[in-house]
Amino acid sequence: MIDYKDKAIHCVKDTVLPMQRKQFEECGCCLDEQYKRYGNTEWLFAKTIEEGHVYEIGYPACVCPDVASGKVKDVSHCECSRQSVLYIIGNLLPDKKISVEIIETVLGGAEKCRFKVTVE
């Protein structure tokens, strides 16, 4: 059984996390503001569904190097992406309870990967 949490942390801790943290701090440590300013790039989209509480985050294409290399084709591997979103937002908002659910993924047959994030 693959430990997707460890795999996700290893994948994003030195790359995506510092970049997201920089944006987050630039935006006054506010996800709503961050997603307004940075939520529409070629590699990430993020939008506020309910201010301070519910967000949709995703990728226009699968960004996983294991999938890109052809090594992985199983949709269960998308748990790794879910864990990476959870890890990043959990780091930005350490005092909040974060939950992330998969809406749809490229490996699952969708055009893009989409996740619902709830902050409590």
pLDDT in tens, 14-25: 999 999 999 999
Q: Do residues 101 and 116 touch, judged by C-beta distance below 8 A?
A: yes
Q: What is the full DSSP assignment across 73-97?
A: --GGGGHHHHHHHHHHHHHHSTTS-
Distance of alpha carbon 33 from alpha carbon 9, whole angstroms: 25
Q: Which pTM value belongs to this model?
A: 0.94
For the segment 40-51, the average pLDDT, to the nearest whole number, is 94
Check whether 2 has a pLDDT greater than 90.
no
Residues in the chain: 120
In the block, residue with structure tokens 């509480």: 53
Q: Determine what percent of the chain is predicted with pLDDT higher than 70.
A: 100
Residue 36: predicted pLDDT: 97
Check whether 43 has a pLDDT greater than 90.
no
In the block, residue with structure tokens 């510092």: 18
Query: Which residues lie below 8 Å from residue 110, measured CB to CB, with a gap of 6+?
Result: 104
For the segment 72-83, the average pLDDT, to the nearest whole number, is 95
Amino acid at 116: K
SS3 22: helix
Residue 1: predicted pLDDT: 77
> Mean pLDDT, the chain, as a whole number?
96
Check whether 79 has a pLDDT greater than 90.
yes
Residue 33: predicted pLDDT: 98
Bigger pLDDT: 103 vs 41? 103
Distance of alpha carbon 71 from alpha carbon 75, whole angstroms: 12
Q: Determine what percent of the chain is predicted with pLDDT higher than 90.
A: 94
